[in-house]
Amino acid sequence: MTENTINFDEWLDGVQRAERSVTLYARADLLADIDELEAQKRQAAEVPDEDRGYADSSGGQLQEKIDDLYVQLDQSKLVVRVSFIDDEEQKSIRDSVKRDLKDELDAAAKAAREEAREKCRRLEITNPNDINNVARSMANDAADAVAEREVSIRTAAAAVVSPRMTPDQVRKLYSKIGDAQFQLLTRAYSRAQNEAPLVAVPKS
């Protein structure tokens, strides 16, 4: 019986972190043009049979425009590779956010406490303990929201393998592509972190 021996240290040296890829589009604005042309195409299809020759011509031209827009959209794509980051790296990010954004966190909490007092006044909450509890809760939530947003941005910057991005670039990316596309990055990170590889070896 042949023993299957593996040098674990050598195997471990070859281990790479899981990565996932996601496609982002710079020209997502073209989707509105495509929507409009698709609507015009549907209208053209409703033209009576006696005018069908014109409708077919118009529909064909509209489809050509739609196809051209999809080509432009595809040409604007960027494939981003994302890996996960380990617990130590995540802790480092959170610690750096608390340190770097101390003034912003304090300002958010202060503004929330003032808003809480005004809210209690409107709701005729007069008990000092109740007011303090509302103020404390709102201040904590406000500071956490600021911190979590920055943690998310810095985590994305650390997790993106290609093309490399700084936190400022990630921040700008989010403002440009919006939440829907940015969530694709988040999901890719989650898959890299949480999904075990499923390998189907082709049969020779």
CA 23 to chain centre: 11
Q: Are 111 and 141 in contact (CB under 8 A)?
A: no
Condensed to tens digits (0 to 9), the pLDDT of residues 30-42 reads: 999 999 999 998 8
The pLDDT value given to residue 155: 94
Q: In angstroms, what CA-CA distances link 180 with 65, 94, 194?
A: 26, 24, 21
Kindly tell me if the per-residue pLDDT of 3 is higher than 80. Answer: no
Residue in the block written with tokens 């406000």: 142
Angle at 190 between CA 92 and CA 169, to 5 degrees: 60
Kindly tell me if the per-residue pLDDT of 95 is higher than 70. Answer: yes
Kindly tell me if the per-residue pLDDT of 110 is higher than 80. Answer: yes
Kindly tell me if the per-residue pLDDT of 133 is higher than 60. Answer: yes
Q: In angstroms, what CA-CA distances link 97 with 3, 147, 152?
A: 51, 7, 10
How far apart CA 54 and CA 12 sit, in angstroms, is 67
Nearest to 171 by CA among 151, 142, 145, 192: 151
Collapsing DSSP states into helix, strand and coil, what is residue 21?
A: strand
Share of the chain above pLDDT 70, in %: 93
Mean pLDDT of 83-89: 93
In the β-sheet with 160-162, what is the strand arrangement from edge to edge? 19-25, 77-83, 160-162
